[in-house]
Amino acid sequence: MTTSRRSTHAVLAALVVSTGVWSACGSSGPPSAVSPSTDGGDAIVDAGSDGAAQDLGSTLAASALTTCARFNARTCCWGGALVNPTVVPLAAAPTDIAVLGGSACAVVAGEVWCWPFAAKTAPSRLNLGGTARVARITAGGGHACALRQDDTVACWGVDTFGQVGNGRFAQTVASPTDVPNLTDVAEIAAGEYHTCARRRSGSVACWGRGFGTAPCAGSSNVCSAAPVEISLPTPAIHLSAGGLETCAQTADGTVYCWLVRAGDATTPPTVAAPLAGAESLHPGYGLSCAIPHNHHPVCWGGPNHRDYTDLLFPDGIIDTASGWYHTCGRFEDGSVACIGQNQDHQIGDGTTTYAPVPGRPIRCGS
């Protein structure tokens, strides 16, 4: 995506008018380039035997108020109950991380380890059943799902809207439960109250709030406790979700997004023209970002939220993770810095000062 600041804002604004789903990052379009602080911080420096950087997977993840990230062998979390970045005592470096409302989980050597934030207890291994190792993990507001290496999915946690996907509705599903009749899964993504899966064929299915036809208990939305097929014109090659939104990218670079509206079913997949060809998409609840090929992030406020006209994320971002009203980005050197709301220490700098631009990179341990 190489459009100018003004033209990008124009297409974003047009999309808001035509769909009501997207709102622009600000009156001047994509954020201006600024440089992150060089004062301290930790970077990932991983190299294979040939010296090439290794794929770290999704080692940056956020929930409403808390973010977790891997820094070399260390993993740290901050925000919410954690005023300052706190080292998580994992036995080895994780290959994937997911953050729930009050806890987090990580994939370490094919196993899932989880820990609560408030208690600051050591991570404990979660038994997913079966013999297959875990490849990926994703989490919503209070539930999580793991993708095994045999392409099956198991979920657990809050299940009020059927987001665990085991065919039944419950307040909480304490132990991981397989999602029935869901196989050949290549990718999973969770929003606040829903979960989606992309099969290797490129088809997509979602479950939880906003899907199916049955009314949710205590809500005006519809809900489904089993996967519901999403109608896309061509197979998807990538899937992402966050907050109430889900996006899928097809082979030609087209991005389709659908939104769970309050008191309504999910909107049909709609072309998000400004995001065509993006390298990665990171929907959030009140703040979302996409990373085009030039690594100049485009961020926007969610429906019914402020548009964050003052946020300035710099160039050189290769990954982001969005909470309710903050976003953290990983730079090309592996360091992590955050922008947005900070009343609950989401920025990780030990203060509660709003951060329109990234400050000092996160310090993970001494």
User: Looking at residue 190, what is its pLDDT?
Assistant: 96
Q: Residue with structure tokens 């993990």?
A: 137
Phi, psi of 12 (to 5 degrees): -60, -45
Distance CA 152, CA 186 (A): 9
- Cα of 110 vs its chain's centroid, Å: 20
pLDDT averaged per 10 residues in sequence order, the chain, 366 residues: 26 25 26 32 38 50 94 93 94 95 94 91 91 95 96 97 95 96 97 96 96 85 94 95 91 89 77 81 79 79 55 82 89 91 93 89 86
Q: What is the pLDDT of residue 308?
A: 57
289: region left, alpha or beta (phi > 0 left; psi from -120 to 50 alpha): beta
For residues 12 and 274, the answer to whether their CB atoms sit within 8 Å is yes
Task: Check residue 366 and give its pLDDT.
Answer: 65
Q: Model pTM? A: 0.83
Question: What per-residue string of b and e applies to 206-215 under the rule 16 or more CB within 10 Å gives b?
Answer: bbbbbbbeee
pLDDT at 250: 93
Q: What is the DSSP string of 160-197?
A: TTSTT-SSS-EEEEEEEEE-TT--SEEEEEE-SSEEEE
The pLDDT of residue 1 is: 29
